[in-house]
Amino acid sequence: MDLAQQFGAVKLKKAAGGTHDRSAPIVAGQEHDASSSVEQFKNKIHAVSRASPTPLHQSRSPVIDDTPPHIQEHTFATEFLDLSMDEARALVREFDCQRGRQGQQQQQQHDQHAQSDALALADLERKIDGLMGAFARDGGAFVRLSTRSPKDAVISSERTLHEWQAELARQGPEAERDENARLVALIKASTAALKVRSGREALALAKASERSNEDLLLALEFPHQWDMKIITRQWVEMHPAMEFRGFVCGKKLTALSQYFHIVHFPALAAHKDEIARRIQAFFAERIVDLIPLDNYVIDFGIASATDDIVADGGGGEVLVIELNPFNDYVGCGPVRLAARPARGR
């Protein structure tokens, strides 16, 4: 039974507050122009996606283009690669082919471009190989588009299932019966499945990702603003309990929460004050003056190579994972403003 089938057997509990269906189309107003509304929505989505979460030292980000280079000392080593529109179209056609979404016209286009797409993607694989370089030798890399990560591609993959089963086995027989332990194991497994060591592995995730495909399709509708990139980041081991989301208002860190809020980490709860003080000190002493923004969302991590999150992670190096601008939420469409561009986002 694959991972998707296992989740299909889960029985959901009825929500106490009932349901609220907000799927109805917007039809109010005599002057409503559906095509105009769709175009305006796409423009807003595209504008937000171009300003959505990016590594702090991406110099071309429209939100953080003045960030000083020395912020790199406090985040993951990162390399950037320009993605051409031809390469993007090849990835889109590969996605459609894998999903069986092709009509007659799309099939003809795929056949017509099959040879050139294969050459373009093979060349892109080589460029990513060169980009990740030492990252692959030192334990792998995380590869994503400059908009969002391909984390949806691993949800029901065989690799995730194997990682999940191995993690549950490491935790012992009681983990199989503990819902919280199973969720923690799943988070660790799906994160581990995003680690790649070659351009071929990186593109395999991109070709299978609905998120990546949506972002490429949207960006291709705005060729005059094309700036899509492939981001390669050094893989740094981090226990999920050691990832945090912070909220900054008026240059003050006003709130801090665990990133994976759906699970409970007893060791984290027991040492939360100590860990919070470390992150607050790190932000105040090393980060706040480097960021030319007053209000933003910032994700932190504490490097941790083992499950002893207090002894190991609690004393590990504090890092900045990503910076997110505050933006209006524009609906439940293709852009999710809290997507992770770092190792597992």
Q: What are phi and psi of 172, to 5 degrees?
A: 100, 170
Answer yes or no: is 167 within a domain.
no
Looking at the structure, do residues 212 and 246 belong to the same domain, yes or no? no
Domain region containing 269: 237-328
Looking at the structure, do residues 210 and 262 belong to the same domain, yes or no? no
203-228 pLDDT per residue, tens:
999 999 999 999 999 999 999 999 99
Looking at the structure, do residues 123 and 263 belong to the same domain, yes or no? no
Looking at the structure, do residues 206 and 288 belong to the same domain, yes or no? no
- 255 Cβ neighbours under 8 A, 6+ residues apart: 246, 247
268-314 pLDDT per residue, tens:
999 999 999 999 999 999 999 998 889 999 999 998 766 666 554 45
What's the domain count of the chain? 2
DSSP letter at 310 equals: I
Closest CA to 241 of 284, 182, 187, 178: 187
84-111 pLDDT per residue, tens:
999 999 999 999 988 875 556 666 666 7
Answer yes or no: is 201 within a domain.
yes
Looking at the structure, do residues 98 and 224 belong to the same domain, yes or no? yes
E strands within the chain?
78-82, 141-145, 229-234, 243-249, 252-258, 296-302, 318-325
Closest CA to 196 of 186, 209, 180: 209
Report the mean per-residue pLDDT for the chain. 78
Last residue of a domain, one of 176, 208, 232: 232
Looking at the structure, do residues 228 and 282 belong to the same domain, yes or no? no
Looking at the structure, do residues 88 and 225 belong to the same domain, yes or no? yes
Predicted pLDDT at 220: 96
Closest CA to 256 of 248, 268, 264: 248
Closest CA to 228 of 237, 215, 242, 239: 215
Question: Which pLDDT band, with edges at 50, 70 and 90, does 155 fall under?
Answer: confident
Looking at the structure, do residues 228 and 264 belong to the same domain, yes or no? no
Predicted pLDDT at 265: 93
Predicted pLDDT at 323: 84
Predicted pLDDT at 98: 86
- Average the pLDDT over 105-134 and give the result: 85
| Token reading at 160 | 């995730």
Predicted pLDDT at 277: 94
Q: Edge-to-edge strands of the sheet including 229-234?
A: 78-82, 229-234, 141-145
239-276 pLDDT per residue, tens:
999 999 999 999 999 999 999 999 999 989 999 999 99
Q: Could you give the percent of the chain with pLDDT greater than 90?
A: 50
Name residue 318's beta-bridge partners.
302
Looking at the structure, do residues 102 and 202 belong to the same domain, yes or no? yes
Residue-wise DSSP of 249-302: ETTEEEEEEESSTTS--HHHHHTHHHHHHHHHHHIIIIIGGG---SSEEEEEEE
The better pLDDT of the pair 22, 200 is held by 200
pLDDT of 44 higher than 70: no
Looking at the structure, do residues 302 and 258 belong to the same domain, yes or no? yes
Looking at the structure, do residues 323 and 246 belong to the same domain, yes or no? yes
Predicted pLDDT at 139: 78
Spatial separation of the C-alpha atoms in residues 253 and 284, rounded to whole Å: 8
Q: Could you give the percent of the chain with pLDDT greater than 70?
A: 68
Looking at the structure, do residues 211 and 289 belong to the same domain, yes or no? no
pLDDT of 47 higher than 70: no
Spatial separation of the C-alpha atoms in residues 278 and 272, rounded to whole Å: 10
Spatial separation of the C-alpha atoms in residues 340 and 54, rounded to whole Å: 8
Predicted pLDDT at 223: 94
50-77 pLDDT per residue, tens:
544 444 433 333 333 333 456 788 998 8
What are the Cα distances from residue 327, in Å, to 286, 304, 345? 25, 31, 18
- 8 Cβ neighbours under 8 A, 6+ residues apart: none
- 94 Cβ neighbours under 8 A, 6+ residues apart: 117, 121, 207
- Counting Cα atoms < 13 Å in the Cβ hemisphere of 301 gives 22
Spatial separation of the C-alpha atoms in residues 246 and 321, rounded to whole Å: 11
